[in-house]
Every structure is written in C-alpha cells, then in structure tokens.
Structure 1
Amino acid sequence: KMSWLTDPKYQYAIILTSLIGLISILKVIFVPLNGIYRHFIRSGLNIRKFGKWAVVTGATDGIGKAMAFEFARKGLNIVIISRSQDKLDLTLSEIKAKFGDKIEVKSLAIDFGKFDEAARSNVHKLLSELDVGVLVNNVGISYPFTKYFDELDDASVEALIKLNIDSTTWMTRIVLPGMKSRRRGAIVNVGSAAGVSTAPLLSQYGAAKSYIAMFSKALNYELKSFGIHVQCQVPIYVTTKLAKLRKTSLFVASPSAYARAAINSIGYEAITSPYWSHDLQLWALDVLPEWLAAAITFSMHKAIRKAGLKKEAKALEEAKSKLA
C-alpha cells in the first residue's frame, strides 16, 4: 500500500502548491524592483515622436495644467480644453509668457458636462486640422467628500458619468481616426487608485475610473498594430482642487512633479502609477488581502465623511446666520 507521500496525486499537489508560493514570493520581490527601475532608471521616450501637438482636457488647474506646461517644455504645441474661457485665457497667456514663440498654443472652451453633438463637432473641427500626437483625458470629477452612494444627489450621479466616462470615450473617438491614419499617437487617460482597488464610500467614482482603466487596457491591445499607445495613469494624492490637498509630502506630489513623472511614463505600461510613492502605496495595497485593504480604506473614508459632514453642517449654519 502506497504512503500518501509517495502517491503521485499528493506529489503533484505539493509541487503545484510550492510553485504558487514561489510565484507569490517572486511577485512580492519583483514588483518593487521593477518599480525602482521604472521610476529611477528608465528614461522617458521622446514624446515628439508621437506627433506635433498635445491635447489636454481639464487643463486650467492641477494635473492638467502642469502637464500642458511640461509638454510645452518638451517642445510640443498645445491645445488646452476646459470649461472656463477666462481660465483658458489666463493659462494660455502663462504658457506664452514662459515659452514665447517656441511653441503654438490653442484653446477651446468646452463644458464636458454638456458634451453634446454640437460640442463634439467643435472639438473635431479644431483637432482634425492638427497633427495630434498625444491626447490627455484629464477632465473629471469626484465626490465633494466621501459618501455612501445613496447620499449622492441625482446631479452628482449624472456628472460622475458625463465628466469621467463620457468625456474620455468621446475625446478618444475624435482623435483616433487621425492617429490611425498617421500610424502613431499616444492617449493618456487619467484614472485613480479608486479605480484599481476597492474604495468604499467612493463607489461610483471608483466604478467610473475602473471603466477608464479597462477601456485603456483593451484599447492599448487593439491599437498597438497602428502605432498607438493607450495608457491609464493612476495618481493617488496630488495637491489639486479635486483632491482638496494644499501641502506636498512624501506621498503627496505637487502637480509639476507628478506631470514630469506622468509624461516620462507615456508609451510604456497600459496601466501605471507614474509617481514613485503612489506606486509604492498601490503595491502595499496589492500585497494585503483584499478584505483587509478594503477595510483600511473604508475606515479612512468614514473618517473623511465625518469631517466632511461636520464642515457642511457648519457652512449651513453660517449661511443661516447671515440670512437671519
């Protein structure tokens, strides 16, 4: 009679279990080593090889504005698209003041919350005349602060879809024909950590950004043979109005620092977190069991919700006292 140790079925099970364990250990070791290479050793591609123009949506604040300046620094002409014409004029004048006649800058006022056929036609008319090499779909919206899904009002639910999903989808459709005909281009879709990890109290925002991640990943495979690279970039904390953060730290990047890292990442991985400390945080979340990572995130978000509700109540009281 065979001992269980010599039974081939158990031997195969032991070998398989050992291989799974080895792969898990190698993954834990390889990912940070690969991160060191990507963030501190690997050089960025020559961004001008994709084309002469970079188009950035949500380009008058935060990440979008910083990326527009960084593209200009690298010698690309810029199209900035945002809702406010006044902010566009200011950003355009700032870029021209810094770079002079070295580059061309165009602007277009578009409300992506009302990105109807007429608005899309205006964008197409402008961009179809240009050698668009890079599109950055940066425009987006999050919650005012973390909330349960049923606490969102109808306008917020609709805006989260239009500004995060619809804008990216339609802008991509607008630039693709030109990129395919030229057989070169890069599309960068700005995602979020909430889109690649479980984020309770940011459920709809996370779902919208998850769409961005999967849309980017699938499109990247579709378009490789046409010389087009599609990438979802995953920031965590950046000092922007959207994030409501003012001070930089080890884990909070300035828009300019993030933009440099973001542009150096273009043309590489389909889904990536360009800034090194953000990537480190995502790695830590990935190493943890999902239930534990989700529980930690949920606890943090509940604290943010509590503070947000308190601030909201205080503002309401102040408004009432002014009316009294």
Structure 2
Amino acid sequence: MELDATALLAAFFAYKVVLPLLGGFYAHFLRPGKDLTKYGQWAVVTGATDGIGKALCFEFAKKGLDVFLISRTESKLADVEAELKAKHPTREFRHLAVDYAGGFDAGKQAAVRAALADLDVGVLANNVGMSYPFTKYYHELTDAECAGLVALNTESTLFMTKIALGDESGGMIARKRGAIVNTSSAAGTQISPLLAGYSAAKGGVVAFSKSLHHELAREGVAVQVQTPLWVTTKLAKIRKATLTVPSPATYAKAAVAAIGYGAESSPFWAHDLQLAVMDLLPTALAVKIASDMHHSIRKRGMKKEAEKKKSG
C-alpha cells in the first residue's frame, strides 16, 4: 500500500509539475514561430502607439507583414508609422485614428470596415485596453472608469473581431485563413481583489477568445487569448524591466512567436511560470498573496493621489 501511494504521488507530481515544465521549456525556448504571412499579408493592431501595441507593430513588420495601426491620436499614429517606415522600408504601413472610449459605435465600425476593405488581413491583434489608475475597491471607481473598462477592453475586442472575420462574402471567414490574438491579462484568469472590474472585463475577453477558438477551428481561423502579468508600460506604470517584468519589445517577441499555438497562452516564460506556481497553490493562499499585493499598491496610490491634490 505504501508503494502504491508513493507511485501515485510520483505520477501526480510528474503530471502536475514535470510535464508542464518540460512543455513550457519547449514552447518558450525551442518551438519555432509560425509563418504569419500564411494567414495573410496585413496585421491590424489596436492600441498601436504605445507599449505592447507599438512593439507588436515592429515585431509583425520584422516577420514580413504589412501593418495597419489603430489608436486614438492621429499625431502619435503618424509618428509611429514614420518610425516603422524608417526601420522597415520594404513594408507598407497605414493607420486610422479611432477612439474606442465611449463605445465603438456604428460610425466608428463603418470607418474601420472601409479602411480595411481592400486589405488581405491575416492577423488581428486586439491590444487596446485600460486598467485602474491603481488598485481600488470596485465601489471607488467612477462611472466613467467602469464604462471605459468595458468599452476599451471588451467591446472593442468583440467588434474588431467581427469586422476582421467578415462573412462568406469577405474577410477571414471567406478566405478560410487568419489569426486573431486578443491581449487579456492574468487578472482575467485569476481571482483579483481590488481589480474586480478590470478582472471582469479581461475575463470576458478570455471566455470569448477560448470559445471562438473552438468555434472557428474548422474555418481555418486561429484565435488565441494572451494573458500577461506585468510589462513595463504606461498602463502598468512600471518603468524598469526585470527578469519577471519584460519590456514591451521583449514581450512582443514572445507574443508573436506564440500566435497559432492553442487557445490560451501566457507567452513570456516568467509569466507562464508564475501562473503555473499560482495554480498549484491552495486557492486561499493564492488569493491572500494577490490581495496583500493589491492592498499595498492601493496604499501607495492613495498616498500619491493625496499628495497630488495637496500640491495642486
């Protein structure tokens, strides 16, 4: 009986720890990326002028794709497009200014459809999003912040995906090829006290993406949701890259390499490892770790906000 128990424990350890570690090592360090040009010639990136979105644009161009940039500010779009042209002179770039805040209404959708109508869109990267100014209790959020969480994180993803997919007369559905990658967050997969609204918005993206992945499996369209932890972006308010907090360029390289492999991915190796460890912990302990960290962030945020009001 003791031998049987030991064997069962060893088998459980191998299944829950060893095999995932080996699989993760292969996926992050050995597995080749897909040839994205097989999906189509153009990549469309939302939230394209800062952080992960901007880095994705450069990575897609590096992989041989032309890139269509979508973001809120025309001047920033023109600047990033100029940078891309200087770095990748053989690639083609276009852009469109769209403000997803306040809702992605019919007029904005029509403008995007018209701009993409003549393009062979192979990859759509739904990257635009917003979070809290710092971790807060849900009841402390303003109505505008709540609306923005849904509009920028969830609504934009659903409608941009619908535009790229098209139907039997055009788009990815008609061509029977394409890849859609939706940037969510680890907060969308984990219990996240003091980020409840953000967690809900990003969790919706996770559920939508995973369901659509299986829905479109026979249509030749690969759908994937990516769930990063911290990256050095304005959204995260982190400036310095570390072993576990990559720069946007480092993260984007991993994110693009993961496209086409499965319904869900945390493409940066350290993030994937951290999430794997959290999944092994008892739920109560994992929640306590997240809650303690978020309460600490809230305390610092509240202090800075009070100092700003006092000085202003």
Q: How does 1:125-274 map to 2 (within 5 A)?
A: 125-177=114-166, 178-274=171-267
Task: Please name the residue that 2:284 is paired with.
Answer: 291
SS, match of residue 129 in structure 2: coil
Question: Which structure has more helix as a fraction of its residues?
Answer: 1
Shift of 1:19: 6.1
Shift of 1:292: 0.7
Distance 1:142 1:32 in 2: 31
Which of residues 94, 97, 101 is equivalent to 1:113? 101
Distance 2:135 2:213 in 1: 32
Match for 1:68: what amino acid? C
Taking structure 2 as the reference length, what is the TM-score of the superposition?
0.95
**Segment drifting more, 21-30 vs 181-190:** 21-30
Shift of 1:122: 0.3
Distance 2:36 2:250 in 1: 17
Which of residues 33, 40, 46 is equivalent to 1:57? 46
Distance 2:301 2:33 in 1: 39
Shift of 1:239: 0.7
Over the residues paired in the alignment, what is the CA RMSD in angstroms? 1.6
Shift of 1:98: 1.1
Distance 1:93 1:303 in 2: 41
In the TM superposition, what whole-angstrom CA distance separates every residue of 1:260-286 from its partner, at most 9, and x where no partner exists? 110000000211100001111101111
In the TM superposition, what whole-angstrom CA distance separates every residue of 1:127-150 from its partner, at most 9, and x where no partner exists? 121100000000000000000000
**Runs of 4+ more than 3 Å apart:** 18-25
SS, match of residue 194 in structure 2: coil
Distance 2:17 2:194 in 1: 29
Shift of 1:305: 0.1
SS, match of residue 247 in structure 1: coil
Check 1:202–1:21 CA distance in 2 against 1; reply closer, same or farther (3 A cut).
farther
Match for 2:257: what amino acid? N
Match for 1:147: what amino acid? K
Which of residues 45, 60, 69 is equivalent to 1:80? 69
Distance 2:46 2:187 in 1: 21
Match for 2:78: what amino acid? D
Match for 1:109: what amino acid? A
Q: Which has the larger radius of gyration?
A: 1
Check 1:119–1:20 CA distance in 2 against 1; reply closer, same or farther (3 A cut).
farther
Task: Please name the residue that 1:322 is paired with.
Answer: none
Match for 1:107: what amino acid? H
Distance 2:78 2:15 in 1: 51
Shift of 1:25: 4.6
Which of residues 92, 106, 124 is equivalent to 1:104? 92
Distance 2:192 2:235 in 1: 17
Taking structure 1 as the reference length, what is the TM-score of the superposition?
0.91
SS, match of residue 81 in structure 1: strand
In the TM superposition, what whole-angstrom CA distance separates every residue of 1:166-193 from its partner, at most 9, and x where no partner exists? 0000000001020010000000000101
Task: Please name the residue that 1:71 is paired with.
Answer: 60
- In structure 1, the gaps of 5 or more residues are 6-14, 320-324
Match for 1:198: what amino acid? I
SS, match of residue 238 in structure 1: coil
SS, match of residue 243 in structure 2: coil
In the TM superposition, what whole-angstrom CA distance separates every residue of 1:25-48 from its partner, at most 9, and x where no partner exists? 512221111100100111101111
Shift of 1:259: 0.6
SS, match of residue 108 in structure 1: strand
In the TM superposition, what whole-angstrom CA distance separates every residue of 1:54-92 from its partner, at most 9, and x where no partner exists? 000000000000000111111101100000001001001
